[in-house]
Amino acid sequence: MQPAASVVVTSDYGLHAPNGIENFRDCIEALARQDVKEPVEFILVENSDLAPDVAARLTEILPGLRILTAPRQSAAELKNAGAHAAIADLIVFIDADCAAHPGWLTHFLEDMRGHPEVAVATGRTHYGAAGFLNRVMALLSRSYLDQDSPGYTRHVAVNNAGFRRAVFLSYPCPDEGGAHMSLLQAEALFRAGHRVLFDPRLSVRHAYDGWSNEREIRRSLGYGVIKTRLIDGRLPYARVARMGYISVPLFAALRALHGCWNCIRRRRAYDVAWYELPAAFVLAAVTSMMEVPGMLLAVRGQPLGKSAFR
pLDDT per residue as tens digits for the range 218-245: 998 899 999 999 999 999 899 999 999 9
Res. 29: pLDDT tops 70: yes
C-alpha span between 121 and 199 (Å, rounded): 7
pLDDT tens, residue by residue, 91-114 = 999 999 999 999 999 999 999 999
Task: Give DSSP secondary structure letters for 22-59.
Answer: HHHHHHHHHHHT----S-EEEEEEE-TTS-HHHHHHHH
Q: What is the pTM of this model?
A: 0.92
The vertex-76 CA angle with 204 and 71, nearest 5°, equals 115
Amino acid at 7: V
287 — pLDDT class (breaks 50, 70, 90): very high
Structural domains in the chain, CATH included, are 5-206 (3.90.550.10), 211-299 (no CATH)
**Cβ–Cβ under 8 Å, residues 251 and 293:** no
State the Cα–Cα distance between residues 30 and 149, nearest whole angstrom: 24
pLDDT of residue 169: 96
Q: Could you read off the pLDDT of 172-228 as tens digits, one per residue?
A: 988 765 666 788 899 999 999 999 999 999 999 999 887 877 888 899 889 999 999
Q: What angle do CA 184, 72, 76 make, to 5 degrees?
A: 20
Confidence band for 15, pLDDT divided at 50, 70 and 90: low
Q: What is the DSSP letter of 71?
A: S
Tell me the residue type at 273. Answer: A
CA 276 from chain center: how many Å?
26
